[in-house]
Amino acid sequence: MNVIWHGTFESQLDLFFSVYDLDGNGSLSFKEIQELCKMQLQMDKADQIIDELSYSFATLIFDLTKTDYNGEIPAQKIKDVIKVQEDKSLIEMFCSFNCLK
């Protein structure tokens, strides 16, 4: 607990890796990160995490469409962004449909 509350950033990262690096190889795999995300979402503070994630994703979508956060994104602008993005999965997920397959 001392490292968590009073440790340096580096010592906190070392602790983080010792807990979440399941195979101890000094790297985090996709599966290890996925498990970390699952555990975080299942915590008592899940509502806060969901709020933070939804804010991050909304920010990303507004940034991708070059829209002011106080504005609104026209449907055509989202369509145009989807057409030029190489990785379309994020926008498709938030649009709740797969419009490019």
Q: What confidence score (pLDDT) does residue 68 get?
A: 93
Which is more confident, 100 or 13?
A: 13
- Give the residue with greater pLDDT, 96 vs 57: 57
User: How far is Cα 39 from Cα 54, in angstroms, rounded to an integer?
Assistant: 17
State CA 66 to chain mean position distance: 19
Cβ count within 10 A of residue 91 = 19
Answer yes or no: are the C-beta atoms of 57 and 90 closer than 8 Å: yes
At 18-60, the pLDDT tens digits run 888 888 888 888 888 888 878 777 776 667 777 888 888 888 8
The rounded distance, in Å, linking the Cα atoms of 40 and 11 is 21
User: What does the pLDDT read at residue 93?
Assistant: 64
CB 91 within 8 A of CB 64: yes
pLDDT score recorded for residue 94: 61
Confirm whether pTM is higher than 0.85. Answer: no
DSSP assignment letter at 97: S
pLDDT in tens, 62-88: 888 899 999 998 888 877 887 787 766
Give every CB contact of residue 37 below 8 A, 6+ residues apart in sequence.
none
